[in-house]
Amino acid sequence: MQHLGFLFKPVSVSGYLDDLIGQQIAIEFILLFTSFFMFLLFLAYITNNLLFFNKDYIINKLGKINKFILLYLRYQVFCIRVSLFYLPIFMFLGFFVLIRGLYFLITHQIPYESLGIDLHTLVKSR
């Protein structure tokens, strides 16, 4: 851990406390949405893999009904092939966004202990 300690060395931050807390909350929301959409991309990727591996069965069963349905199914197979190439790229980009955002949150900590105030005091609204 000592060899990797320089990577997580805290960086000094400056600014108003409400601005710094707002920036942290915004980054946390962005990371939450990124992880949610990466989960959706992963589900779409798994579904497309299942459909792609069973395409012959689906085309044989539904393609006999109508030629337009057969054309539509072939179009969907083409779209699945394209998405099987692009979905992992977008998932890796999402992982890099998550890693960079978490690294930023680790290294740019708000120094609450140096504020000189007790953060556990009750604030009453008027």
Three-state DSSP at 28 gives: helix
pLDDT tens per residue across span 2-56:
777 777 787 888 778 888 888 899 999 999 999 999 999 999 999 989 888 888 8
Domain boundaries, the chain: 16-109
Eight-class DSSP state of 2: T
Alpha-carbon distances of 105 from 17, 25, 108, 116, rounded to whole Å: 15, 10, 5, 22
The answer to whether the CB of 98 falls within 8 A of the CB of 31 is yes
**So what's the pLDDT on residue 101?**
92
Give me the helices (H) in the chain, please. 17-53, 55-62, 67-107
